[in-house]
Chain A
Amino acid sequence: MDNGIMLTSSSMEALSEDFRAVAHNLANISTVGYKRLQSAFFNALQSALSGSGEPAAGTLGEVEAATSIDFTQGALIPTGRPLDLALQGKGFFVIETPEGQLYTRKGSFYVNPNGQLVDTEGRTVAGQAGPIVIPSTTSPLKVRVAGDGSVSADGRPIGKLRLVEFDNVSVLESVGAACFRLTAPVTPKDALQTTVHQGYQEASNVPAVRELVRLITLTRLYQANVKSVQTLDEQMKYLLQVAMGS
């Protein structure tokens, strides 16, 4: 009995953490290159409830709370800005930081005063051979990026963007600003199947309707949990009454 209440309350706690993940996804519905958080807890709960109809004893409380990142492709939105690059495929851009390399799908780039291609934070974007440098005699409006990531200025090739992919994307963790870092010593592979689209941004991959449905489901599951705590409480009250002989 006690155990039942404990399991239910741990499930309520997990639901409210999951609710935070949904709120975070919805807050980032307009963030370029954002990849949604999905919760393993929610998925396990859903399959436990829909699978056998009746959840196995203890399933609810023992589900591990875990989030993973959903790396599905976001929609490509045209901006017409020559330094907005969007990726189609599994690849990532590589950003050089003092703490090591970061990987991102957000290709809103700029040129710093040294002519180097940089991201929104001013960190250099990795090319196949060092940073991409746009000569000062070329206007940033005249920079062309081909589908394979080759960059040319005024028709002259000036470098090629480094695009990488991972066999298992679960080694990546979010560090904010649509960037990811490796959590395990994995060597990224060259992304050969990824196409670069110039003048486009990759929109956030948060599906509004699905997140809203998830929100409603969470609310109802939470209410159901409250209800079962109340029922367990009433049962205990009844048992006590019987035991006390009143």
Chain B
Amino acid sequence: MLRAFSTAATGMTAQQMIVDTIANNLANINTVGFKRSQVDFQDLMYVKLLEPGQEVAAGVIAPSGFEIGSGVRPASTLKVFTQGEMQNTGRSLDVAIQGDGFFQVTLPGGETRYTRDGSLRVNANGQLTTSSGYTLEPAITIPSDARSISIGEDGTVSVFAGSSGSPSTVGTIALVRFSNPAGLTNEGGNLLAQSPASGAPISGTAGQGGFGTIMQAFLERSNVQMVNELVNLITAQRAYEINSRAIRAGDEMLTTANRLIS
């Protein structure tokens, strides 16, 4: 009986974890390039009280065993890398990836990180950076006399500089992708880091070899669907209640049993 309490408690913890994840998804409903998380659960180990096929009486074998599980455990939270909605901003330094791929940025310490947030800026040195100020890798420098910037579907950045009447190419925004993007580590600040699970980054050009295309003047919205999250929230709340009901029922049974000795 007491084991059933801990079983039901694992159920309550699991639902709480779903609520925590939904809260984070909903909080990031307006975060550019954000990918929603979902929790993955596993049923816990089973305790065998009777082996199937065990002899229960002379010549009689149990047709099925008696195994009871001990609840549930959260196995992982995973980012779902489905495409977010494209929003036209009209800003020439806003870029979005339509399809698979990440922008590659360099942190001040020299480490490489990956992001889908393409709200770019030009820093004091003329380099293209993310909104947090991390420079793109490879670095692209915009001349100080640039009049207009255009970014092609393959990531080519060209500018009209000075009084020149023809565009000149100043660099290409490179994309990388991973065989298992769900294995990337979340660093916060819209940044992801490589992990042994994600595999090594595969770099390439937008629009080729499985990479998505780059769209200028667009931002990729978060892929959180508010209605879905709210429905999941309600479900989790009810499931939490149901599991607490199991604890209450167990308590009632124990109270009844206690009456035997009163």
A174 and B80 form a contact (CB under 8 A):
no
List CB contacts (< 8 Å) of A198-221 with chain B: 208, 211-212, 215-216, 218-219
- Rounded to whole Å, the gap between the CB of B255 and the closest CB of chain A is 9
A-B contacts at CB below 8 angstroms, number: 213
Min Cβ gap A48→B in Å is 18
Contact present for B53 and A183 (CB under 8 Å):
yes
A64, B56: Cβ atoms under 8 Å? yes
Whether A27 and B210, one on each chain, are in contact in the complex, defined by CB atoms closer than 8 angstroms, is no
**A26 in contact with B11 given A80-B82, A141-B100 (CB within 8 Å):** yes
| Contact call A170/B8, Cβ cutoff below 8 A | no
Asked if A26 meets B69 with Cβ closer than 8 Å, knowing A31-B43, A120-B40, A178-B42, the reply is no
Asked if A110 and B180 sit within 8 Å, CB to CB, the answer is yes
Whether B147 sits at the interface, judged by CB under 8 Å, is: no
Most buried by B among A28, A111, A212, A223: A28
Closest partner residue, chain B, to A81 (CB atom): B80
B71, CB-defined interface residue at 8 Å = yes
Stretch at the interface among B125-133, B166-174, B196-204: B196-204
- Write the nearest CB–CB distance from B28 to chain A, whole angstroms: 17
**What is the CB-to-nearest-CB distance from A34 to chain B, in angstroms, rounded to a whole number?**
5
Bin the interface of chain B by size.
Answer: 35 or more
Say whether A112 contacts B199, CB under 8 Å.
yes
Residue of B nearest to A134 (CB): B179
Interface string of B58-92 (1 = CB under 8 A from A): 00001111111111100110001111000000000
Tell yes or no: A128 within 8 A of B by CB: no
A31 touches B42 (CB 8 A): yes
B156 within 8 A of partner (CB) = no
Let me know if B164 is at the binding interface, CB within 8 A: no
Considering the chains assembled together, what is the distance between the CA atoms of A34 and B1 in angstroms?
Answer: 23
B110 within 8 A of A: no
CA distance A154 to B209 in the complex (A): 10
Tell which of B4, B75, B199, B260 has the most Cβ of chain A within 10 Å: B4
- Does A29 contact B71, Cβ atoms closer than 8 Å? no
Docked-complex contact A174 and B180, CB < 8 angstroms: no
Which parts of A101-153 form the interface with B (CB within 8 Å)? 108, 110-113, 115, 120-122, 134, 136-142
Q: Mark B181-213, 1 if CB is under 8 A from A, else 0.
A: 111000000000000111110100000011110
Cβ-defined contact, B72 with A19, below 8 A: no
Whether B41 lies near A28 (C-beta < 8 A) is: yes
Looking across the interface, which residue of chain A has its beta carbon closest to that of B208? Answer: A137
Distance of A134 Cα from B181 Cα, bound (Å): 14
A residues in contact with B7, CB < 8 Å: 20, 23-24, 27
Q: Does A16 contact B (CB under 8 A)?
A: yes
B43 and A34 form a contact (CB under 8 A): yes
Distance in Å: Cβ of B60 to nearest Cβ of chain A: 9
Chain A contacts of B197 at CB under 8 A? 112-113, 122
Is A176 interfacial (CB-CB < 8 Å)? Answer: yes
Question: Smallest distance from the beta carbon of A146 to chain B beta carbons, Å?
Answer: 20
The interface bits of chain A over 11-45 (1 if a CB of B lies within 8 angstroms of the residue's CB, else 0) are 01001110111111011111110100100100000
> Can you give 26 A-B contacts (C-beta < 8 A)?
A16-B1, A16-B253, A20-B4, A26-B11, A27-B72, A29-B11, A29-B242, A30-B15, A31-B43, A64-B50, A68-B64, A79-B80, A81-B81, A110-B182, A137-B210, A139-B177, A142-B210, A173-B67, A176-B42, A177-B75, A183-B65, A215-B245, A219-B253, A222-B257, A223-B253, A226-B257
Apart from A30-B14, A230-B259, A230-B260, what 6 extra A-B contacts exist at CB < 8 Å?
A: A17-B49, A23-B71, A23-B243, A29-B11, A111-B179, A111-B199
B-side interface residues toward A, CB under 8 Å? 1, 3-5, 7-8, 10-11, 14-15, 18, 38, 40-46, 49-50, 52-53, 56, 62-72, 75-76, 80-83, 99-101, 177, 179-183, 196-200, 202, 209-212, 235-236, 238-239, 242-243, 245-246, 249-250, 252-253, 256-257, 259-260
